[in-house]
Amino acid sequence: MLSLSLAQLNLTIGDMPGNIALMTAAARQAVAAGAQIVVFPELSLTGYPPDDLLDEPDFLARVDIALAGLCDASRVTPGLYWVAGAPTRRQGPGKALENSLLVLKNGKIVLSYAKQLLPTYNVFDERRYFEPGPDVARTLEIDGAKIGFLVCEDAWNDAGVDYPINPLARLAAEKPDLVVTINASPSNIGKREERHALLAAASRRHGLPMIYVNQIGGHDQLVFDGASFAVTPRRGVVFEAARFEEEVATLRLANSEFSDADGKTLAPVPATGLSVMAFYRRQIVLGLTDYARRCGFSKALVGSSGGIDSALTLALAAEALGPENVIAITLPSRFSSAGSVDDSVALCNKLGIRLFEHPIRDIIADYEKGFHAAFGEPLAGLPLENLQARTRGTILMEYSNQYGALLLTTGNKSEISVGYCTLYGDTNGGLGLIGDLYKTEVFALSRHLNEAAGRELIPAAIIDKPPSAELAPDQKDTDSLPPYPVLDTILKILIEGKRLSAEEREAVKADYARLAETENGAALIARVRRMIWKNEYKRRQAPPILRLRPRAFGSGRKMPIAAKYE
């Protein structure tokens, strides 16, 4: 019987002493649970993804020191095998590094395997830093069990679609008793089910039990959900660790079947995980919590317009950081409705957030006078609208600089897609929480928060009122944009397309097709497409956005600014 611990940890990129400390604590837990092996995530020494830190000589020198420190740390559990990930140096032509899996025991590296398949799609760019490992299988016998090892992507090409080699098939030919794969798999909607389906099919195809260990935590735009799991050829997914939480879980393997640390039968794993809205909530909360913690912020700041976007941002920030650590500022202009302030007051009372009021009427009036005096004509139209947004952004940054609070942007994916936002105004800030949510999803998530709380966290008056930037008299979003259900249908097809889940694509493609069949609908689609293209420059200058969906703005979508699109 083999006993092993799956250690999904919240590792910090670049904090190698801290990461070693986390691994050491987990190894002690594994020993206490009777494990012979403890398995950590991909690049667990450095955290994932280290990106261009890997090009820095000083960083690589630190890696060398930390790798020696990791070996020393394994001496505290002399009978335990540590399976860890680290960048390692290599000789010869090509890149100077490999993305390696290392097996350590009592201070020594007893096995080394270099990742063969280096993804360069979506948010990944591993070939930029690493050389692929040789096309070989690596196994190790531990207490009579033959264990094979892979790193993340190496297990994802079993259908032979994306790469000309299949490391899993090569490993299966060695007839191991168990396959261990270490991973740093960022989370998005539907990713959990995708992982389960892929590994369960591979397990059946090769007749091999497998374990999949993933990291958790927020790293800039990316959030990792953990959800490490085990699969068997006969039963599929038989164990799943917690999502969005650290956990060290110990399993036993006998006769190709897993049991818990005490040898008892494992509880069934539900095929369906969190609901879509519950997933969004957990992902955003963890993403903000870690971003603030790692960047040294204890407080967050939001400009409260009395609208749905800032309301949802405030509610999520309060959950992540605690309402006592969130500040709201309402900045009414002469175009603001009474409800913008009143609704902000009601919202902050319900959330327990402190609200400040900083009117901008007089500031804008002074700008208008100065503009007229300098240029001989009145300030009106779009320049006046954008001036209000930029003035608000300036005041919010003043507060951020003065008191050290992290300013959160409040733009949603629908608005960001078509440029319905103001550079150096409402795009100011350090992080966007809802920038990968379409406007219709913003409403849905707001309702979900209320339902989950069993009370109104976000007042119905905010959810029910027509969206408006309130930068001009009686302004509504629909003055400039199609209704959001229509806009979101178009955007999902144009931005995400085949990356949509089968269910979501099925839900929107019929409506999109009906639009495309009419002259007005086709013209609207063409207009939205042009709006997406011409506003790439705004997105390039915007703060990072927490990634929720398979294709988010930022590192997962790289488009040129100065280009001809049609």
Calpha distance 272→191 (Å, rounded):
12
Task: Enter the pTM of the model.
Answer: 0.95
> Considering 71, 131, 152, 319, which one is annotated as catalytic?
152
Q: Residue 16: enclosing H or E segment and its boundaries?
A: helix 16-32
Tokens 């393997």 locate to: 253
| pLDDT at residue number 564 | 86
- Give the DSSP letter string of 134-168: PS---EEEETTEEEEEEEGGGGS-TTSSS-S--HH
- Local structure of residue 197 (DSSP, 8 states): H
Domains and CATH numbers, the chain: 2-273 (3.60.110.10), 278-476 (3.40.50.620)
CA 80 to CA 27: how far, in whole Å?
A: 8
Residues 6+ apart with CB under 8 A from 290: 10, 217, 218, 219, 223
Q: Name residues whose C-beta falls within 8 Å of residue 128's C-beta, 6 or more positions apart in sequence.
A: 120
Instruction: Give the three-state DSSP class for 300.
Output: strand
3-state secondary structure of 456: coil
Query: For residues 406 and 295, what is the distance between their CA atoms, to the nearest angstrom?
Result: 9
Number of residues that make up the chain: 566
Q: Are 518 and 509 in contact (CB under 8 A)?
A: no
How many CA atoms, within 13 angstroms, populate the side-chain half-sphere of residue 233?
Answer: 12
Asked if 237 contacts 269 with a C-beta cutoff of 8 angstroms, the reply is: yes
Dihedral angle, C-alpha 539, 449, 464, 349, nearest 10 °: -100
Task: Cite the beta strand spans of 23-136 per DSSP E.
Answer: 37-39, 81-89, 97-105, 108-114
Cα–Cα distance measured from residue 173 to residue 434, given in angstroms and rounded to the nearest whole number: 46
Which three-class secondary structure state does DSSP give residue 356?
Answer: strand
Write the DSSP symbol of residue 45.
Answer: T
Spatial contact of 1 and 253, defined as CB atoms under 8 Å apart: yes
Q: Please measure the distance between the N-terminal and C-terminal CA atoms of the chain and give it in whole angstroms.
A: 63
Active site includes 240? no
Q: Is the peptide bond before 164 cis (omega within 30 degrees of 0)?
A: no
Confidence (pLDDT) at 518 = 94
For 69, the 3-state DSSP assignment is: helix
Q: Which of 42, 131, 240, 441 is catalytic?
A: 42
Q: Cα separation of 350 and 83, whole Å?
A: 48
CA distance 129 to 54: 7
Q: Cβ contacts of residue 155 below 8 Å, gap of 6+?
A: 167, 168, 179, 181, 198, 199, 202, 210, 212
Per-residue pLDDT tens listing for the chain (566 residues): 899 999 999 999 999 999 999 999 999 999 999 999 999 999 999 999 999 999 999 999 999 999 999 999 999 999 999 999 999 999 999 999 999 999 999 999 999 999 999 999 999 999 999 999 999 999 999 999 999 999 999 999 998 889 999 999 999 999 999 999 999 999 999 999 999 999 999 999 999 999 999 999 999 999 999 999 999 999 999 999 999 999 999 999 999 999 999 989 999 999 999 999 999 999 999 999 999 999 999 999 999 999 999 999 999 999 999 999 999 999 998 887 777 899 999 999 999 999 999 999 999 999 999 999 999 999 999 999 999 999 999 999 999 999 999 999 999 999 999 999 999 999 999 999 999 999 999 999 999 999 999 999 999 999 998 877 666 677 777 777 899 999 999 999 999 999 998 889 998 999 999 999 999 999 999 999 999 999 999 999 999 999 999 999 998 899 999 998 87
The whole-number pLDDT of residue 279 equals: 98
Q: Pairing relation of β-strands 222-225 and 354-357?
A: unpaired
Give me the residues paired with residue 222 across strands. Answer: 219
- Cα 203 from chain centroid (whole Å): 28
Task: State the Cα–Cα distance between residues 417 and 535, nearest whole angstrom.
Answer: 7
pLDDT confidence of residue 305: 92
Residue 71 is a catalytic residue: no
Q: Which of 71, 98, 115, 240 is catalytic?
A: 115
- Kind plus residue range of the DSSP H or E element containing 358: none
Half-sphere exposure of 181 (CA within 13 A, CB side): 29
Cα distance between residue 223 and residue 543, in whole Å: 16
319 belongs to the catalytic site: no
Angle between helices 502-517 and 484-491 (to 10 degrees): 110
